[in-house]
Structure 1
């Protein structure tokens, strides 16, 4: 009786033959471009970069697919082979504070079926302003506080990353306070209000100071907050005799 089973070798070759049409013949391609480009903006010419002739794209029903549940952020011009922006790309909304923001898409070609992976590296632009949590920072300082006393101020936050986030703070000129700027882990910066000259409530009961945070982007963007300092009274004056 002849052997009617399928040999292991036959299975391997059959499996390889099935996968062959899915093989990526040209290699993956990646593009780096800034976020918030307008719809229709050209990212690159994917036909040229993959060694394809633009004229065959339509015949092979070229299209862009996504991985997982991602949106289709780019599309392909079947006439020119250009890869174009299809959806608004907001880096902060997609990747938050991550140093790298990569979107994976696929170019699908039929007859024969081929898949080409496309990696979109989205670069940050300076499109956010530094912001404080509150409009006013209220601080109470005892009248007898010594020179050098420090008071921690609320940190300004910026949704951008790297050089485009908060880089410095400034305080409007006054005779009693200066700023001390601190760099925290990850490069974040905050500031302390430092008493540079002793207070006298009898002379001035409150101060209104303007704190400004500035990022390092181009053009630079800034945010401001009002610091309202109330000087608390101390029993530092002896009663005066009226006689």
Structure 2
């Protein structure tokens, strides 16, 4: 009859539903660069499973769509352990949230648990300027209060671990103005080419991590004579 011919189809559909059924989510916060073998969490305890069940049902972790296996399950202890170093910057770049999803698979019967690993940023990068030396030419006729832009430093880390402030080595001519990552030298005292033809200013960028990291750049200022340009005779 028709009802008998439909039964295999219903059974197959039921199997598909069971296959994709997720029984419960687990979530762990993981600092990047964890040492291999470090314990992320105990899956057996957090799911309320005994260790014999993990072994008998061949528990495993599955990284769908990834060639790297970042963690594994120890069937003897139930611990989820770090298997490979996680570099948050290469995985998620500057995104404020970095999530790695793993499936915990149990067999007989098939059971899936979604495990979310929230990768936390650590301060493993220092602020960096594009160059070690910035060359500037400023005329001695430049007025007090004139501003000169400096390219800001970049840091691969995020949040507090990114660049937080700048420090300009004390000098007799310039102070620093920083506004929304715009870095400028402000002329506080006029330049005098006869007294000083060149200045070297040390600029330091500091992040807010612990331990704090920094990067430096030397700003080499050449003071140009106000009368460098030859006079132009507009008369015949």
TM-score of the pair, normalised by structure 1: 0.88
How far residue 210 of structure 1 moved from its aligned partner, in angstroms, is 0.4
- Hey, what does 1:67 align to over in structure 2? 64
Tell me whether 1:181 sits opposite 2:173 in the alignment: no
TM-score of the pair, normalised by structure 2: 0.91
- Following the alignment from structure 1 to structure 2, what is the Cα–Cα distance between the partners of residues 10 and 66? 31
SS at match of 2:199: strand
How far residue 20 of structure 1 moved from its aligned partner, in angstroms, is 2.7
- Following the alignment from structure 1 to structure 2, what is the Cα–Cα distance between the partners of residues 133 and 34? 28
Number of aligned positions between the proteins: 228
Could you tell me which of 149, 153, 159 is aligned with 1:152?
149
Larger CA deviation: 83-92 vs 62-71: 62-71
Summarize deviations over 1:18-59 as a string: whole Å, max 9, x none.
Answer: 53355333x011111211110000000111111211222122
SS at match of 2:22: coil
Tell me whether 1:230 sits opposite 2:227 in the alignment: no
CA RMSD in angstroms comes to 1.8
- Following the alignment from structure 2 to structure 1, what is the Cα–Cα distance between the partners of residues 2 and 191? 103
Alignment of 1:1-243 (within 5 A): 2-3=1-2, 6-7=5-6, 11-12=9-10, 14-20=12-18, 22-25=20-23, 27-183=24-180, 189-235=181-227
Distance change >3 Å, CA 113–CA 4, structure 1 → 2: closer
**1:178–1:194 contact (8 Å) kept in structure 2:** yes
Runs of 4+ aligned residues of structure 1 deviating over 6 Å after TM superposition are none
Segments of structure 2 that go 5 or more residues without pairing to the other structure are: 229-236
How far residue 235 of structure 1 moved from its aligned partner, in angstroms, is 2.3
Segments of structure 1 that go 5 or more residues without pairing to the other structure are: 184-188, 237-243
